[in-house]
Structure 1
Amino acid sequence: MNTFTKSLILSISAALISVSASAAPQSHPSEQHHQVQHSTQSNQHNQHGQTQKKSVHPSHDWKAGQKVPAQYRGQGYKVDHSKYRKLSKPGHQQQWIKVNGDYVLTSTLTHTIIRIIAG
């Protein structure tokens, strides 16, 4: 075989190897370990990386004395106790909020949970 043919075959072989190597996913074992750890710690993302909302059920997830997360402190969650028989009148600087069907009595000063009633 002449030199030109050998160099042509070598060039084509090298090009095929580089194309197949670049098409393969580039991840290190430590990155895969980190991804597995992250997915077990948070249920916020599905396998396609899309964000999913985690459903909150205060009657199961929250306890009296805990702080209400900031996203549930807005006026949109506030409930008028007089429209619901099972809700008592809130005390001074207290209010009822409704989160996913559950009613939560909170302190408007400290944002702590006083009482939870399952919906």
Structure 2
Amino acid sequence: MTVQPPTPMRPTFKAPEQVSFHRTELSVILSLYGRMVAAGEWRDYGISSLREVAVFSVFRRTAENPLYRIEKRPKLRNRQGLYAVIGIDGQVLKRGHDLRTVLRVLERKLIRSVD
């Protein structure tokens, strides 16, 4: 009688991968969010981690459509850029490979003239 090692089982079920923001990305986004809250522009946010995209939505009030969506789409990494800022009407305001440069389009809202 010969003893054979058990055959390894191959997992047939693969858990769906989710796209999410990394800690350093969230730190950059939340830094901007904190400054905009202090300026009275933004009041609430929501984070969604989906299969193909991670979304950070910014709201003026809780129960309305988001003013801006900051999206991370890894599939666009080699083309238009990993990150995008999308306005309330669905228009892409800025797209790029570096999160800080993409968020500059929102930082311009902080710059106001002093009367």
Please classify the TM superposition score into its range, dividing by the shorter chain length.
Answer: under 0.3
Q: Which of the pair is proportionally richer in helix? A: 1
Provide the TM-score with structure 1 as the length reference.
Answer: 0.26
Q: Which of the pair is proportionally richer in strand? A: 2
